[in-house]
Chain A
Amino acid sequence: MNTRLQTSAETSLHPKVYDVQHIYNRYAGMLLGYIYDVVKDKALAEQYLTDTFIAVAAVPELFNNPNDNVYCKLQLIARKKLTNYFESVGNCEVNEVVKTRPNSFLNKMNARQQTVFCGVHYHGKNISTIAAEMNEEEDVVRRLLREAFVIIRTR
């Protein structure tokens, strides 16, 4: 009796799930690694990963442009999901980030570069906050961030 209804529901559902699965298969590991480095809790990281991909399903048009970097968009969505977590976490402890999982890129950075990069990447801070914490100009902080990226590129 409901065959027609079921068929129409399936045809409208599955493409969305398959699209997200395609992105998941390619980027879930990278994103889980990032989220785990932020929250340092496996179960919590998996929950944030789940929330992120559910959010991806809600905005599939965001990933239609082939020129855009999919991982960076996923990371931005994950960072939005992590906003409350970032606010609940206190000061950035660089050693904690490096101690949990060895990161060859971070190890190559000096202390100031690590502070800026970890503050932005793992603790969701903005440039002005980090500048105030380091008692430096925002331009200096941006330059340190750029230096950190140069290290990532040349590593």
Chain B
Amino acid sequence: MQEYINSGILETYVMGCASEQEAREVLSMKEKYPEVKNALIELENDMERLAASMAIEPPHNLWPQIAHEINEIVLREHNQPQIYREGINTGKEENTGGKPQYIDVESEATHMRIHKVWRWVFAAVFVLGKIFLGFAIYYYLENRQMNEQVNELKTELKQIKSTK
């Protein structure tokens, strides 16, 4: 056991540079052997002694900054919306007897959303409507003019007949 303690593996563990396998091994030995546990405690105390001798007083304004950031993070966690999960947020989704679950939606809005392609369809319908309207007016006027001409011709024919 002393050989294991003297191998330097405990020092690597305490300093955080042991591999995962080494760390597992050290923890297992720590549980089994009190000598290993005591050696680890001593090494941790050594690290603390070294750190205490090299300590630097932090500036006075540093803690308020840290406390503020922690507060903000905790507040953010508190204010996060709850994630929706079926059967957790409401009890209605349960016991549907294996049928597909649908959400009943009754539209109350006065507006509707349609696909953008309908914009071109509406434009084409509008343009075609204008063209047909143009033709209709043109043929209506032409028809009226022809009727007037026919009437004039009829009047002339009547006049010719009456003079004969």
Contacts and interface: CB of A to CB of B under 8 A. Distances in A.
Interface string B26-43: 000000000000000111
A12 B79 CA distance: 12
A135 B68 CA distance: 48
Interface in A131-155: 139, 141-146, 148-149, 152-153
Given A142-B11, A152-B46, A34 B54 contact: yes
Contacts of A143: 6-8
A16 interface: yes
Nearest to B69: A54
Given A57-B73, A139-B7, A145-B11, A28 B58 contact: yes
Where chain B touches its partner, the secondary structure class is helix
Contacts of B42: 153
B54 A37 contact: yes
Given A13-B75, A20-B66, A33 B55 contact: yes
Nearest to B22: A127
Contacts of B62: 28, 46, 49-50
A145 B73 contact: no
